[in-house]
Amino acid sequence: MRVLLVYYTGTYNTRYLTDMLIGELEERGHRAERVEIARGVPPADTSGYDMIGFGYPIYGFNSPLPFNRYVKKLKIGAGQKFFIYKNSGETFAMNNASSRILLRRMRAKGAVFSGEYHFVMPYNIHFPFDKDFVREILFEDRKLLKVLVHDLESGRAPKIASNIVYNAAAAAVSVQKIGGAVNSFFYRVDPEKCVNCGLCVKNCPEQNISQKDGRITFGHRCDMCMRCSFFCPTNAIDIGFLQGWKVNGDYRLAELDRLGPPDSPYITAESKGFYKCFINHFSDIDKRYAELIDAEDDK
């Protein structure tokens, strides 16, 4: 298969997932290319691909606005096969509604659904994940990626079921349209902490940050992607009404990935509260992965 992966990323979790997916596809003898959505990136030429994969991080139970805008502009031939690989920090059922806009757009273009997959990646907002938890997440993600690639080969097209209640609730909390524009009025940089490294200016996907006479200023074209504040080496950026939920500091995913899973499972049958949703999520992945290994052994 020749596969095109079109994705949006804020703090590079989706980029990391995309690269893991490319690795899995290539290991199975497929060819994969990727396009990262950002301001100024023209709609990709999708002709000549057997499959298109759409990747995005879930923002408030929805797909990110820049992702939706980009997909709207994409020319997709009728009959084009596509799949979805989305990710988020938790797997609450409300997240099931996040692809409804993408699915509607693809249906309107006559594209053919070939599966939807929900990966967990560490939170870039709300609170930082423990390193051992991230190691376990990446270990489970790798299994799900193998399942995904085999599904694409066999034509199995698993759906993630949403319903009218989740869809309506997700639409109601979709505040992104004004969220970034309004919140960015309150972004501030602490001059005592800022070392003028220019990283935030260089990396903002919306080219929304400027640096003049050693002062950092923000425009109002913000996606709320958290890239600037997440990677600021001195944690100097105040992100307005989300400041209490700010997560600062690179997880160093490649290093944690290389270490493999933690010595003892992070999520167990006794996991409680926030962590409870991962019990079923990980056991579903383990089940599907075991089926895959069994099927391979039978060959």
Q: Which member of 5, 20, 25, 121 binds ligand FMN (CB under 6 A)?
A: 121
Residues 29-68 that bind ligand FMN (CB under 6 A): 57-61
Shortest distance in whole angstroms from residue 151 CB to ligand FMN: 22
CB 208 within 8 A of CB 218: yes
Rounded Cα distance between 216 and 194, Å, is 9
Q: What are phi and psi of 119, to 5 degrees?
A: -100, 150
What's the DSSP call for residue 40?
Answer: T
Q: Show the site string, 217-256: x = touches ligand FMN by CB under 6 A, - = not.
A: -------xxx------------------------------
Q: Which member of 3, 4, 12, 83 binds ligand FMN (CB under 6 A)?
A: 12
Q: Show the site string, 232-271: x = touches ligand SF4 by CB under 6 A, - = not.
A: xxx-xx----------------------------------
Closest of 62, 63, 12, 3 to residue 36, by C-alpha? 12
What residues are paired with 187 via a beta bridge?
239
Q: Which member of 5, 9, 53, 285 binds ligand FMN (CB under 6 A)?
A: 9
Q: Which member of 70, 129, 218, 251 binds ligand SF4 (CB under 6 A)?
A: 218
Residues 143-202 that bind ligand SF4 (CB under 6 A): 180, 189, 194-200
Q: Return the number of the residue (100 or 112) whose C-beta is nearest ligand FMN.
A: 100
CB 105 within 8 A of CB 122: no
Torsion of CA 46, 48, 51, 57, to 10 degrees: -20
Rounded Cα distance between 56 and 151, Å, is 20
Residues 95-134 that bind ligand SF4 (CB under 6 A): none
* Alpha carbon separation from 55 to 86, 139, 203 (Å, rounded): 5, 19, 20
Binding site for ligand SF4 (CB under 6 A): 180, 189, 194-200, 204-206, 208-209, 216, 218, 222-228, 232-234, 236-237
